[in-house]
Amino acid sequence: MKLQKYKNLSSLYTREEDFSSDLANHISQLNVGDFEDAETESNVGTRKADIVATGNDGILVIENQFGKADWDHWGRLEAYARLKEANVAILIAEEFEELMIVTCNLRNEDSNIDWYLVQAQVNEHDEFLFHQIARPAIDVQTERKNVEYSEFWEPIRKKGVFAGKPVPIRDEGWIGKGIKGISLLLQLHNHACSVLLSFQGENRLKRRDAAIELFPKEEIEYELRESPKFANIVFPVMDKGKKDKEHWPVIREKLTKIGTEIYDKIKESDI
């Protein structure tokens, strides 16, 4: 059996700030809640937090670093989270010592803030993997009876390409499906919805260019977005979203229709 090989973050990024920029564009991959508006190097008094984001689940504060997490970064996270009155706080690193994991778990027992330690890894194809090493136990036990599930996604999860498990309310900003190493997401914002194709790895731009040829501009509208490690295609669907409940049936229909058409084109292609 071939073991997965991983690269150091410092081999891909010159500065931790560059890593923060990529994280800010892909917060949904952390699976810690529904957060949309991310700001890097966000002012906190005379200091700056790596990332601060807001959304339906409140305020999220993130500190990230290369290598093994140290107590200096943990201390900063605690200070920034309390000063920002955060609902969720995350320390992201490549490795954590046992005492820090214990400390995070203890903090979750007596705090109104949800504390996470998240391990960031990059495989040999330059694809990111995130693992929650420590987390608030009660909030991630989706099998518990008191967990509320998204009403919006319920019909979509029952049949079709995007069928699957119920979506907890705290994660209802998107649902995803992988195909040929590409992430396809149906995204639901407060007053907008879209379909996202996200490409990772060394050949991400080449693969995105190949995908673009499947979607002529005269047939479907899209926007191109990229960062040092991701290349995305965003297909706007409607200027209606989560807060426009009276339009949910139409949103569901259009979102799944376009998402399924994109999925089928990718599936049938040679990308």
| CATH, residue 235 | 3.30.1460
DSSP bridge partners of 79: none
Closest CA to 66 of 147, 141, 121: 121
Is there a single domain that holds both residue 135 and residue 239? no
Tens of pLDDT, residue by residue over 10-67, are 888 888 888 898 888 888 889 898 887 788 998 888 889 999 998 777 889 999 999 9
| CATH, residue 97 | 3.40.1350.10
| Cβ neighbours, 10 Å, residue 29 | 17
Whether residue 111 is predicted with pLDDT greater than 90 in this model: the reply is no
Q: How far apart are CA 206 and CA 152, in angstroms?
A: 35
Is there a single domain that holds both residue 94 and residue 211? no
Question: How many structural domains comprise the chain?
Answer: 2
Closest CA to 192 of 21, 37, 22: 37
Q: 83 in helix, strand or coil?
A: helix
Host H or E run for residue 205: helix 204-212
Please report, in angstroms and rounded to a whole number, the separation of the first and last CA atoms in the chain: 27
Q: How far apart are CA 204 and CA 177, in angstroms?
A: 18
Q: How does DSSP classify residue 249?
A: H
Domain assignment of residue 171, yes or no: yes
Contacts of 1 (CB under 8 A, 6+ apart): none
Q: How does DSSP classify residue 3?
A: P
Q: How far apart are CA 262 and CA 259, in angstroms?
A: 5
Q: How far apart are CA 30 and CA 20, in angstroms?
A: 13
Is there a single domain that holds both residue 25 and residue 130? yes
Q: How far apart are CA 94 and CA 115, in angstroms?
A: 17
Strand ranges for the chain from DSSP E:
6-7, 37-44, 47-55, 58-64, 88-93, 114-123, 128-134, 174-179, 182-188, 193-199, 223-226, 231-238
Is there a single domain that holds both residue 118 and residue 184? no
At residue 91, the pLDDT reads 98
Q: How far apart are CA 99 and CA 97, in angstroms?
A: 6
Domain assignment of residue 229, yes or no: yes
Is there a single domain that holds both residue 130 and residue 10? yes
Is there a single domain that holds both residue 164 and residue 116? no
- Which of the four pLDDT bands, split at 50, 70 and 90, describes residue 141? very low
Is there a single domain that holds both residue 125 and residue 25? yes
Q: Which of 105, 139, 173 is the last residue of a domain?
A: 139
pTM across the whole model: 0.55
Domain assignment of residue 145, yes or no: no
Range of the domain at 20: 6-139
Tens of pLDDT, residue by residue over 186-234, are 999 999 999 999 887 778 899 999 999 999 989 999 999 887 778 899 9
Q: How far apart are CA 180 and CA 135, in angstroms?
A: 31
